Structure 1
Amino acid sequence: MAHDHSHHEHSGETLVEAARNALTASGEQWTGMRETVFSELSKHDRPVSAYDIADNLSAARGKRVAPNSVYRILDLFVTNNLALRVESSNAYLANTHPGCEHDCIFLVCDECGDATHIDDEEVSRTVRSLAAAKNFKPERPVLEIRGLCQACA
């Protein structure tokens, strides 16, 4: 059953505010650079790479933003559930409900690059149970199903 839990989807400024609140509640600082990276990330409907974010910020600021700095910030966002990482593409999406913890399940289109995030607690429980049965402790399960979206099929 998808969406076993309820959460509020944020967008625009409310998404940035929700991300700031979630990050500071976890004991981390919300710096100007972190806000800039999150704001840029949240503008994209499709997964975006750290290099794309760095290029966009460099152009907007008129000075180079190093991709490795962006990667560090994105890793912090993933750790604190503010961003989701599409592993196979090495790209990121803003989590539209920061603070809501769940496993990452993506439908990734090989044609257009779109990634649809699905919340399905039953699938998550099954995957975690399978891992536990093999005496494996999953830290961050990620499932990606590659194929074609409806528009590209």
Structure 2
Amino acid sequence: MAQHHHHHEPTGTSLAGAAQATLERNGEQWTPMRAAIFEALAGEEKPASAYDIADHVSKARGKRVAPNSVYRILDLFVSSNLAMRVESANAYIANAHPGCLHDCIFLVCRTCGEATHVDDDALTGNVRKRAANEGFTAERPIIEVLGTCAKCAA
């Protein structure tokens, strides 16, 4: 039986505040560039590439931001649980509950590109157990299910 995990999901400034607190707890600084990149990522409706975020931040700041800089910050965000990488889309989404660690399950719509993050600790626990049975230590399972979302199917 699947365990469902419910969150109160912060948005806007409360999400940015939760992200900042999480990053600072990890001993990192919340710089203006990191804040701008997180704000741009959190404002996206679907997974965004580093190039999408660089364009958004460049326009907002009035000067060019290099995608390589954005990639480095996104990597920091992923390692700090502020963002999650959707491998099949080579893109990122902001973690709506940065203080909570879960393995990732994404439902990725091939039509509109939206990715829905769901938590199912029973399912990912079974993936971890299976990996352990093979002598493999799973760092963080990521499961992506490609298909069609309810909006596009309608």
Distance 2:124 2:33 in 1: 33
Alpha-carbon distance in 1 for matches of 2:140, 2:150 = 28
1:107 aligns with 2:107: yes
Given that 1:106 and 1:143 are in contact with CA atoms closer than 8 Å, whether structure 2 keeps it comes out as: yes
Question: Is residue 131 from structure 1 mapped to residue 131 from structure 2 by the alignment?
Answer: yes
Contact 1:58 1:65 in 2 (8 A): yes
Where does residue 75 of structure 2 map in the other structure? 75
- What is the percent sequence identity of the aligned residues? 59
Gaps of 5+ in 1: none
TM-score normalized with structure 2 length: 0.95
SS in 2 for 1:151: helix
Native 8 Å contact 1:108 1:146 kept in 2: yes
Query: What letter corresponds to residue 147 of structure 2 in structure 1?
Result: G
Q: TM-score when scaled to structure 1?
A: 0.96
Note the 1:27-46 alignment, pairs <5 A. 27-46=27-46
- Contact 1:46/1:114 (8 A) holds in 2: yes
Q: CA RMSD in A?
A: 1.0
Spell out, residue by residue over 1:85-116, the C-alpha distance to the aligned partner (whole angstroms, 9 max, x if none): 10111111100111200011000000000101
Which consecutive segments of 4 or more residues in structure 1 shift more than 6 A?
none
Amino acid at match of 1:91: A
Q: Which residue of 1 aligns with 2:96?
A: 96
1:131–1:137: 8 Å Cα contact kept in structure 2?
yes
